[in-house]
Amino acid sequence: TRKKAAVWTTEEEGALLDFLASHLSQAGDGNFKKATWNTAAAHMAHNHPPGPDNGDKTAE
17-54 burial, b at 16+ Cβ within 10 Å, e below that, comes to eebbeebeeeeeeeebeeebeeebbebbeeebebeeeb
Contact yes or no for 51/2 (Cβ under 8 A): no
Instruction: Quickly count: other Cβ atoms within 10 Å of residue 55's Cβ.
Output: 13
The distance of Cα 41 from the centroid of its chain, to the nearest Å, equals 5
Residues 1-51: tens digit of each pLDDT: 787 777 889 999 999 999 999 999 988 888 999 999 999 999 999 998 876
Q: What is the pTM assigned to this prediction?
A: 0.75
